[in-house]
Each structure stands twice: as C-alpha cells, then as structure tokens.
Structure 1
Amino acid sequence: MTSQPMTLLIIVSETVLEDILIDEIMDLGAKGYTITDARGRGTHGTRAGRWTQGGNIRIEIVGNAELCQRIVQRLQSAYEQDYGLLMYTAPVELQN
C-alpha cells in the first residue's frame, strides 16, 4: 500500500449556499466533495439546523494544496462578507 500526501479542505457554511458552493468548487477543479449537515455554536451564534434554510452544512474536499487555496480565495472574496463561512485545512494522506 502506498500513500499520497494531499490537503483536506473543510468548509462550514449556511445551507442556503449549498448549490452555489458546489458549483464554485467543481468549476475550480475539485473532483468531488462530501456534504453533511452541521450544528454548533460559533461567532455567528448557535446554529441548530432545525430548518432547511437556517442550518449549516459541512463540505469536505480532498485535493492538492493549490486547489484548496484556490477554492478558499474564491469563496472568501465572494461570500465571506455576507454569509457565515468557516474554512480550514489539514494535511491528509490518501491510501492507495
């Protein structure tokens, strides 16, 4: 078994942005993504996720560092000012 170093980009955002963010992520070169519902508390207050339009989602993308940086820069410039948006990365290794 071999491993390949990659970057995991995690995006936590308002559910209302789901379709828009998916389009942006794929247009920027991602091969795929995983989306889950998310609840919690942070600088934007408590997000219970009880309503479709009022909850949060967590999007995970695995790619090279350049791809992840491109996605972060685009989403920050286009959405961060007007929407709750948290993004962070972590190094991961894909097992082949």
Structure 2
Amino acid sequence: MSEITPELVRHLGVLARIQLSDEEIERLTGQLDVIVDNIAKVSQVATPDVPATSHPVALQNVFRPDEVGDTLTRAQALQNAPDAADGRFRVTAILGEEQ
C-alpha cells in the first residue's frame, strides 16, 4: 500500500508554492514512495543496540606542526598587483563608499 499519493504530492507542491504538472506529480509520487519505503527499511534495522554513525569508518583530523617557513616580503607580494599604494593592494571602492 502506497503512503504517497498524487493528491499528497499536489498538496506538498501547493505548500511549497511549486506549480507541478500532472507528469511531474506522477513522477514525484513514485520517487517519493520509493524514498519513504527505503526509510522504513532503515528504521527496521536501526535498533537501540546499533549506534548511529555518520561514516562507516572513524574519522580523525590530521594535523601537522605549526612551523614558520619562508614567506613573501611585502614587496614580493605586491610586485604583480595591478595597483598598490602604501604597501597594500589598492582596489576600487565597494558600493560607492570611499574609505
């Protein structure tokens, strides 16, 4: 027995303010019904003794030591800038505001 009906899909479309054609309603009815069936299957398997997981394997962050390395000088950073002034990149004003 299907839980998702064309009338329900049409109603959801109205609530979402989406105008759906008859073909879209028919296609979405089948697709949403499959989704609901799959959720029901997962719900049958998900028991209290099975912990919820977001990934099949444990994740961990990989960090490296924070070490100071060679960096650009101010002159090197600005050497290819289209426009620079006072040791900074010069850009056009945003939203017509002069700084």
TM-score after normalising by structure 1: 0.23
Higher-strand-fraction structure: 1
TM-score after normalising by structure 2: 0.22
Higher-helix-fraction structure: 2
Greater gyration radius: 2
